[in-house]
Amino acid sequence: MKIIIDENYCKGCDICIEVCPKDVYKKSETLNKKGIYPPNPVNPKECTNCQLCILQCPDQAITVETEE
């Protein structure tokens, strides 16, 4: 899976981190240009494409692409 976090939309609410059953995301240790710690997909291979992160993201900042 390829997971893309659009930092132009993400406000760092961490909902994706909380709802992911496979612990795909971790909070970044580095501030982005907006001054937030965005989620970082550290385990994309664990992603099952359940799309809970996409459905729960209030800012529609997450895209999950399946690799064929």
Domains identified in the chain, total number: 1
pTM above 0.85, yes or no: yes
CA distance 15 to 24: 12
Domain ranges, residue 47: 2-65
41-47: Cβ within 8 A, 24+ apart: 41/3, 41/5, 44/1, 44/2, 44/3, 45/1, 46/22, 47/1, 47/3, 47/22
- 46-67, pLDDT tens digit by residue? 999 999 999 999 999 999 998 7
For residue 61, what is the domain's CATH number?
A: 3.30.70.20
Residue 53 tokens read as: 């992160």
- 4-28, pLDDT tens digit by residue? 999 999 999 999 999 999 999 999 9
